[in-house]
Structure 1
């Protein structure tokens, strides 16, 4: 079984179901990407994996343990970290204080992890005393990812990490995401920039109306004529 699997998930936010027998999985150290058209249920699938909405069919298993009934807070304790698309930093707190907030569950020395974050995102080290709200959009995204890494996660979930940033910043963020995966952390990412995301993905999921439409390696999906025509602009 995969390190993470949200298997046969059906559910939504209380009204009509948004997900329909949807399955998402990721292996250790693997980048798994969820793509699809607007309204396909991409972010909903990730939130279901993190326990932010109820699924009435299916289950979520992490490292062999069924965590379907656990709250998001309990899932953080199991090694999950979630970076939402918006409102993902504390704007009136410094970069360093934002990172410290990410380590609130820890009782050990966090300084080594913080230095690792600064090595991954050098600009954050330079601006560690500056309020996060004064940073550029791309820098705030780095703070949000860095804060999630402060939890020492086994699974990092990113909801549209490159939304609203320039192509140059997007490429840099993707490079850093690859570096994180190389440390053995599993990455589950929802991304609107499907072509660029599949280019770095070990595995890709194309969702349409809350259902799995295509599942394959990132390279295979990039080469699939139907995927290219329908979801990658030809």
Structure 2
């Protein structure tokens, strides 16, 4: 029987990954022959809200897709709760505890709200009623509109359906790609309040957000990406207070 030796560097890297609930380390990848990500690293601890911000074309959504397994990595690795999941498909990552809400095409418009939520529980066996009730408590308007086709809802209500459907899988990590895109400021504030509630329940959050200032206000940790690499990493409060970050990325 052969035994593969582990180098000290590999041992140290594994220990660093295990220190975080989600660890996506030194990711390099892209589309075709072109790399979009250049050594990007994202870590999220249990119950933490991590926010990815940066200019257009910075690789924010690409990083999310890489974490979720929708984009194969040329270099780097992804671990969840200490387990290496780099080679797993998105479906298998859902089974490991990841939930992903894309920016667009995130509801089944011809299905009712309740049918959309039931679709979110496709990997589960047994009774889903308790989880459905938790979603309705989090988003009361969905209970009122549960028999209505999701395509007839407002943009903000459709986002609630999309988040609710992801929660039906009972994720340990919830990934949100631009959750407040196209909604009013009032609806944005409401969605952020619900995201805080989700994190307080123990679910980790990894979120890409175009409304950088508002997102960093609720972030435990923030990542500013530029051209597919980490430019700044700090607490949300520290990034908000950094003059260079404010001037360059937050409009002063």
TM-score (norm 1): 1.00
Give the whole-Å Cα distance in 1 for the aligned partners of 2:245 and 2:104. 28
Query: Is residue 77 of structure 2 the alignment partner of residue 59 of structure 1?
Result: yes
- Residue 202 of structure 2 aligns to a residue whose secondary structure is coil
Residue in structure 2 matching 1:159, options 177, 187, 198: 177
- Residue 54 of structure 1 aligns to a residue whose secondary structure is coil
Question: Counterpart in 1 of 2:192?
Answer: 174
- Deviation, 1:13, is 1.9
- Residue 244 of structure 2 aligns to a residue whose secondary structure is helix
* Aligned pairs (5 A) from 1:193-212: 193-212=211-230
Question: Counterpart in 1 of 2:149?
Answer: 131
Give the whole-Å Cα distance in 2 for the aligned partners of 1:222 and 1:187. 19
- Deviation, 1:102, is 0.1
- Structure 1 residue runs of 5 or longer lacking an equivalent are none
Residue in structure 2 matching 1:74, options 88, 92, 97: 92
* Aligned pairs (5 A) from 1:86-101: 86-101=104-119
- Residue 46 of structure 1 aligns to a residue whose secondary structure is helix
- Structure 2 residue runs of 5 or longer lacking an equivalent are 1-18
Question: Counterpart in 2 of 1:147?
Answer: 165
Larger Rg: 2
Question: Counterpart in 2 of 1:217?
Answer: 235
Give the whole-Å Cα distance in 2 for the aligned partners of 1:15 and 1:125. 47
Aligned length, in residue pairs: 234
Q: For each residue in 1:148-191, what CA deviation from the matched residue of structure 2 results, as whole angstroms up to 9, or x when unmatched?
A: 00000000000000000000000000000000000000000000
- The answer as to whether partners of 1:18 and 1:44 remain within 8 angstroms in 2 is yes
Moved over 3 A (4+): none
- Deviation, 1:14, is 2.2
Question: Counterpart in 1 of 2:203?
Answer: 185
Give the whole-Å Cα distance in 2 for the aligned partners of 1:14 and 1:25. 26
Question: Counterpart in 2 of 1:17?
Answer: 35
RMSD: 0.4
- Deviation, 1:15, is 2.4
Q: For each residue in 1:62-108, what CA deviation from the matched residue of structure 2 results, as whole angstroms up to 9, or x when unmatched?
A: 00000000000000000000000000000000000000000001002
- Residue 174 of structure 1 aligns to a residue whose secondary structure is helix
Give the whole-Å Cα distance in 1 for the aligned partners of 2:140 and 2:26. 40
Give the whole-Å Cα distance in 2 for the aligned partners of 1:5 and 1:222. 24
Question: Counterpart in 2 of 1:105?
Answer: 123
Q: For each residue in 1:127-158, what CA deviation from the matched residue of structure 2 results, as whole angstroms up to 9, or x when unmatched?
A: 00000000000000000000000000000000
Give the whole-Å Cα distance in 2 for the aligned partners of 1:12 and 1:50. 14
- Residue 18 of structure 1 aligns to a residue whose secondary structure is strand
* Residue range with higher mean Cα deviation, 5-14 or 127-136: 5-14
